[in-house]
Structure 1
Amino acid sequence: MPIQQNAEKLNMIRSHMTFLLPFGFDQMKRQETIDSLKSNGYNYFHINEEAINKTAMYGYGIDVTGKELEQYFYPYIEHKLFPGSHEKKGFHRYTAIIQKDHVMQIRDERHDFHIRSIDIILGPFGIAFLSLRINMQDIPADLSDVLDFIQHFRAVEQNLKESKGAMIIIPETGQSFSIRDYIFGYLCPFMEKAVLHEKKLKGHFGSLPYFEDERMFVSSFLIAETGVSISEEQLYRIGNLNGRTPEGAPFISSTNPDYIRRSLSLSLHDRWAPHLYMIATEHGYSVVSNRPADELTNELSQYMGTHYYNLLLHYFYKIMLLRVSFEYSEIDWKKDEYYVRSLIQLISVFSSSYYFKEISTRSEGKELAELFRSTFLIDPLFNEVNKTLQELYKSQENSQAGRLNMLLFVLTIFTVISGIYGMNLVIPDWEAPSGWKEYPSYTVFEWISLITAVTGIGLSAYLIISTFGRMYLRRRRRNKLDMLDQ
């Protein structure tokens, strides 16, 4: 429960924000989605592309180089994050430069912002990300206003009291939109049909029924006035996006200094303190500095490049691990034998092809990756998935053993009956065209012979059909999994 109190004032002279919106998309319509992106001005991102306007995409003086990205990640990660074409497996990024000024109205306050560019990243297993790069224009701004802007902008579905009431206004036309309509009605209307929706769940995040929130994850780079002291309270507010109350007063969600200190011990990376801090929480990842802006070009380039992909990869890990846990809970053990096999394949392919604990060659990359793993609870989730995999294997083994025992039981019965008849189940009446008409006069042994013969023929036909059916389903599942793993 947010608690209003006299928060320390801190002015921000510059802000960079990136809002990440995950969603599920239809892999069967992948090429259609790619064609739609291209026709709407989105270009495929190549790691060594030099022709793009990086100033327009990221901001003045920010240069993300392919060489730095290559050297930051291990080779087995690099070729998944930066595939050479959309035909290869990995994360496929399409980028459009927007360069528009819009206004967010919250209560009676109006905040001008500039949207620079949009990334739409088509990831493996039908998971995609929409990424918005934004700068606040009314600078310098109080920290409370910056955090209030972030908190409202990230609320795709405005369900909580503190996130309600925000509208986006287009100055040129006077149109106003909710956050969701601004994204899918104004910025990216063509993406609406590509988003998958769970029929049982409403709202945007019905696209990912295993996801726990209906707000975007935000990363931000905030530059405070040069040399100003940044307190633990302010760092805590930044990490938890404590902006303003619904009435407009500054707030902080804790009044206990010890609690704030314990919270920061888990979420704060202070390697470059007291001039630069990184905070990662379940709400967002933030970098805040009190150094002059013209001295932070290298840090900003890392924030837009290497840190962006480091965050993206671990956010993907979290979503995939939650997905596996969700799908495991949805299994109907009496009916979903093939679903169980598909889930085993999904876990195996994800673990072998994409999930790696060591992703960066640099010490700061390793430290940041560890911070993300801790924040997103990656290790506990992965341990749970490992247990899930063991349960699935055990279930599959028990199911196969049960089928094998039943088959042996049936075959044993047929063998015993055939042995009694000396392996001859033919009734002389069957040799005549009208022999079948004599069945009312059959003896008990002839009835046993008839039932055994007909059942044996039917069982043989069933075994042949089911064997070929399973081969077809396995091939189809394999093809579907290959399509998901792009």
Structure 2
Amino acid sequence: MTEKIITSPLTINQSHLSFILPLGYDTKRKSEFARSLEKNGFSFFQLENNSLDDDIYGKDIFVNHKELDQYFLPYVEHNLFPVTLKNKGFHRFTTSVMRSFYFNIRNNTTPFTIRSLDVILSPFGIVLLTIRVDLNQKELDLSDVLDFMHHFRTIESKLKEERGAKVILPSTGRSMSVHDLIFEELCPFLEKFILHDEKLSGYFGSLPYYKDERMYASAFLFCEEGSAITNEQLYRMGSVDGKLPNESTFISANNPDYIKRTLKQTLHDRWAPNEYIVVTDHAFITVTNNSPKKMERELSQYMGTHYYNLLLHYFYKIILLRVSFEYSKINWEKDEEYVKSLIKLITLFSSLYYYQEVSTRSEGNELSKLIRRSFNIETLFKEVNNTLNELYKSQENNASDRMNMLLFILTVFTVVSGIYGMNLVIKDWESPTGWKAFSSYTIFEWVSLITAVSGIVLSGFLIFSTVRKLVVNKIRKKKSDNHFG
């Protein structure tokens, strides 16, 4: 008899949620973008400055900046915490929001507070927007928390089971989508900096390669002290399985063995049975049955070191998806230089930012390996590298064929010119009416005429195509600087 999955309730007493939205921007406008952020109340994050921590993460939650400094290897730390905007790396701007809203799902209303926002200007024209959310209601069932996360992370509701969720503004009663909440209520200044480009159309005109147009969800959940945390609950956390439209508990698997195999790849259970971390392609969730008092350091790590560890690897995946998308749109006949720019991008990425080990701590490296495995980063990186190398080799062969054809044509012209002693001029051409006598030309004069005219045309074509190629390459380089700078 087939074993059935039985979903069990789990009471969540306290929850700290984060949602990460990747966007694309023009790197040539970085300084203008930074000034706009500061004008709108954002402050540049620096390790030496602890004053920003007030109300950013939650009541009595502070991130130890010295631990951030010690947690990452020096070459990683240099990129994660640049001293100024001029230094390469991840430039984080943070602001406290502390605004309350209501989230309406199927006539169920959940009060929540947006505590703070991060806007991280990342390398190669990627912006990572982080929204920190606290659920105000205590003693929510796990299904309610996951249902909130599932609907809030959906920027554009396209599937039937995702529709119907609305954010309500308490002061006016105005109803809006999550998209409008972000781009009209929280960050109205943000949209003008988002790239709208022919190659990067879609996803609000920004990142068409980004998976299923949803934010990445992250959470630190406190369940009732001493509660048993089961495999099906952990699986549902990783899959962000909330509720069905009829309000019943949803789980996206019915095979216990499948759930065990999945958790083997996505679960960090070093501190079981009191703390678990689940990392999937959809969510990074820590759950504990200890009291908040006992978990102060762990919560601080979740907001600090684990947050940066996740961001770094999430950036890896975004860049690799970007390159995969870009080479899938290549026009073989016209994009020889574009392939070179993609090779330059992946070379810079792998040499400056892509590292196998990022942390000095054993737990940090364990989490890094878990995130890399869940994001499928190793496979993506190998695929991108191999494909770009094959593209480059193919285009080198095409260029070689074109060069051989050009040499063949030039050789023919050289031979013909040599036969005529390098003199292709016919005496009739010296008089103004000499061209009209071509009907009486001998075979040798016809060869001379055809060779001279075709040589002039070929030279003009070569000059035109060379100039055109230089102009097109300059335009492409300007565009690629916007995307890859």
User: Would the TM-score normalized by the shorter structure come out above 0.5?
Assistant: yes
CA distance in 1: counterparts of 2:432 and 2:75, whole angstroms: 71
Distance apart, 1:352 and its partner CA: 2.4
Partner of 1:327: 326
8 Å CA contact retained: 2:268, 2:276: yes
Q: Which residue of 2 aligns with 1:9?
A: 9
Shift of 1:369: 0.9
Aligned residues with identical type, % of pairs:
54
Matches of 1:222 and 1:300, distance apart in 2: 10
Aligned to 2:180: 181
Shift of 1:192: 2.1
Structure 1 residue 203: Cα displacement: 6.6
Mapped to 2, the partners of 1:355 and 1:18 lie a distance apart of 24
After superposition, the Cα gap between the structure-2 partners of 1:74 and 1:433, relative to the gap in structure 1 and judged at 3 Å, is farther
Does the CA-based 8 Å contact 1:83-1:92 persist in structure 2?
yes
How many residue pairs get aligned? The number is 482
**Structure 2 match to 1:346:** 345
- Report the secondary structure of 2:82's partner residue: coil
Residues 201, 207 of structure 2: 8 Å contact kept: no
Distance 1:297 1:485, change over 3 A: farther
Q: Is 2:413 aligned against 1:414?
A: yes
Which residue of structure 2 aligns with residue 369 of structure 1?
368
Q: Distance in 2 between matches of 1:114 and 1:146?
A: 14
Q: CA 1:407–1:362 in 2, change beyond 3 Å: closer, same or farther?
A: same
Q: Distance in 2 between matches of 1:42 and 1:55?
A: 14
- CA distance in 2 between partners of 1:427 and 1:356 (Å): 69
Cα-to-partner distance string for 1:21-71 (whole Å, 9 max, x where unaligned): 11222334444433332222222222322332x131111232223332232
Q: C-alpha distance in 2, partners of 1:438/1:35?
A: 74
Which amino acid is the alignment partner of residue 232 of structure 1? N
**Counterpart residue number, 2:49:** 49
Where does residue 65 of structure 1 map in the other structure?
64
Does the C-alpha gap of structure 1 residues 336 and 56 become closer, same or farther in structure 2, counting only changes over 3 Å? same
Shift of 1:393: 1.8
Distance in 1 between residues matched to 2:434 and 2:156, nearest whole Å: 75
Q: Distance in 1 between matches of 2:347 and 2:27?
A: 19
> Residue deviations 1:315-354, cap 9 Å, x none?
1211221222222222222332233232222222222222
Q: Structure 2: 5+ residue runs without aligned partners? A: none
Match of 1:165 in 2: 164
Tell me if 1:313 matches 2:312: yes
Cα deviations by residue, 1:329-386 (Å, 9 ceiling, x for unpaired): 2222233223323222222222222222222222111111111111111111111112
Q: Distance in 1 between matches of 2:299 and 2:416?
A: 81
Q: Is the 8 A contact 2:5 2:256 kept in 1?
A: no
Tell me, yes or no, if the aligned pair for 1:156 and 1:204 is still in contact at 8 Å.
no
Q: Check the 8 A contact 1:11/1:225 in 2, yes or no.
A: yes
| Correspondence 1:439-454 to 2 at 5 A | 439-454=438-453
Measured after TM superposition, the shift of residue 387 of structure 1 is 1.6
CA distance in structure 1 between the aligned counterparts of 2:84 and 2:434, rounded to whole angstroms? 70
Q: Compared with structure 1, are the counterparts of its residues 402 and 203 closer, same or farther at alpha carbon in structure 2 (3 Å cutoff)?
A: closer
When residues 440 and 342 of structure 1 are mapped into structure 2, their CA distance, relative to the original with a 3 A threshold, is: farther
In 2, the alpha carbon distance for the partners of 1:76 and 1:465 equals 47
Tell me how far apart the structure 1 counterparts of residues 475 and 335 of structure 2 sit (CA, whole Å).
16
3-state SS in 2 of match to 1:396: helix
2:22–2:126: 8 Å Cα contact kept in structure 1? yes
> Which stretch shifts more, 394-403 or 249-258?
249-258
Matched, 1:388 2:382: no
| TM-score with structure 2 setting the length | 0.92
Letter of the 2:47 partner, please give it: I
Q: Distance in 1 between matches of 2:196 and 2:477?
A: 24
Following the alignment from structure 1 to structure 2, what is the Cα–Cα distance between the partners of residues 241 and 400? Answer: 50
CA contact (8 A) 1:221 1:303 kept: yes
Q: Corresponding residue for 1:426?
A: 425
Between 264-273 and 385-394, report the one with greater CA deviation: 385-394
Distance 2:89 2:448 in 1: 61
In the alignment, the residues of structure 2 paired with residue 58 and residue 95 of structure 1 have an alpha-carbon distance, to the nearest angstrom, of 11
Q: How far 1:439 moved relative to its partner?
A: 4.6
Unaligned runs of 5+ in 1: none
Q: Distance in 1 between matches of 2:66 and 2:410?
A: 66
The alignment partner of 1:98 has SS state of strand
Q: Which residue of 1 aligns with 2:123?
A: 124
Partner of 1:378: 377
Query: What's 2:291 paired with?
Result: 292
The alpha-carbon deviation at position 208 of structure 1 amounts to 1.7
What letter corresponds to residue 343 of structure 1 in structure 2? L
Q: How far did residue 100 of structure 1 move?
A: 1.1
Change (3 A) 1:368 1:5: closer
Which residue of the partner structure matches residue 246 of structure 1?
Answer: 245
Query: Which sits farther off after the overlay, 323-332 or 397-406?
Result: 323-332
Structure 1, 401-410 or 161-170: larger mean CA deviation? 161-170
Between the aligned partners of 1:32 and 1:206, the Cα distance in structure 2 is 20
Deviation at 1:478, TM superposition (A): 5.0
Q: Which amino acid aligns with 1:65?
A: N
Deviations 1:302-324 (A, max 9, x none): 11111111111111211221222
Q: Which amino acid aligns with 2:266?
A: S
Rounded Cα–Cα distance in structure 1 between residues aligned with 2:282 and 2:398: 42
- Once the 2 structures are TM-superposed, how far is the Cα of residue 17 of structure 1 from its aligned partner? 0.7
TM (norm. structure 1) is 0.91
1:469 to partner: Cα distance: 5.2
- 1:19 & 1:179 partners in 2: Cα distance? 11
Corresponding residue number in structure 2 for 1:80: 79
Residue 191 of structure 1 corresponds to which residue in structure 2? 190
